[in-house]
Amino acid sequence: MKYNNRNNPNKNIKVAKITILFIIISILVITVGNIVMQRFSNNTKTVQALDGNQNAKSESSDNQSKSETDSDELKSESNSEVENSAFVEKYLNQQMKGQRPDGADGKKVVYLTFDDGPSETVTPQILDILKKEDVHATFFLIGKYIDKDQASKDLVKREFDEGNAIGNHTYSHDYNYLYPNGKINLENCMSDFEKTNQSLKNILGQDFSTRAVRFPGGQMTWDKKDPSGAEAMDKALHDKDYHQIDWNSLSGDAEGAPKKAEQLKQEVIKTVANREKAIILMHDTYGKEETAKALPEVIEYLKGQGYEFKIIK
- 115, 192, 223, 284: the catalytic one is 115
* Cβ pair 163, 217 in contact under 8 A: no
The residue count for the chain: 313
CATH of 76-312, one of 3.40.190.10, 3.20.20.370, 3.90.245.10, 3.90.850.10: 3.20.20.370
Q: How confident is the model at residue 40 (pLDDT cuts 50, 70, 90)?
A: very low
Rounded to the nearest integer, the mean pLDDT of the chain is 84
The answer to whether residues 309 and 112 touch, using CB atoms and an 8 Å cutoff, is yes
CA distances from 70 to 45, 66, 106, 203 (A): 37, 6, 21, 30
Q: Is 169 noted as a catalytic residue in this protein?
A: no
How confident is the model over 158-179, as a mean pLDDT?
97
pLDDT one-digit tens code per residue, 227-259: 999 999 999 999 999 999 999 999 999 999 999
pLDDT tens for 42-93 read 444 444 444 444 444 444 444 444 444 444 444 444 558 999 999 999 999 9
Q: Based on the residue annotation, tell me whether 173 is a catalytic residue of this protein.
A: no
pLDDT at residue 6 in the model? 46
**pLDDT given for residue 274 in this prediction:** 87
Question: How far is the C-alpha of 292 from the C-alpha of 75, rounded, in Å?
Answer: 34
- Look at 203 and 72; give whichever has higher pLDDT: 203
- The pLDDT of residue 67 is 43
Candidate list 169, 173, 283, 284, residue with the active-site label: 283
Predicted pLDDT at 33? 55
| pTM of the model as a whole | 0.77
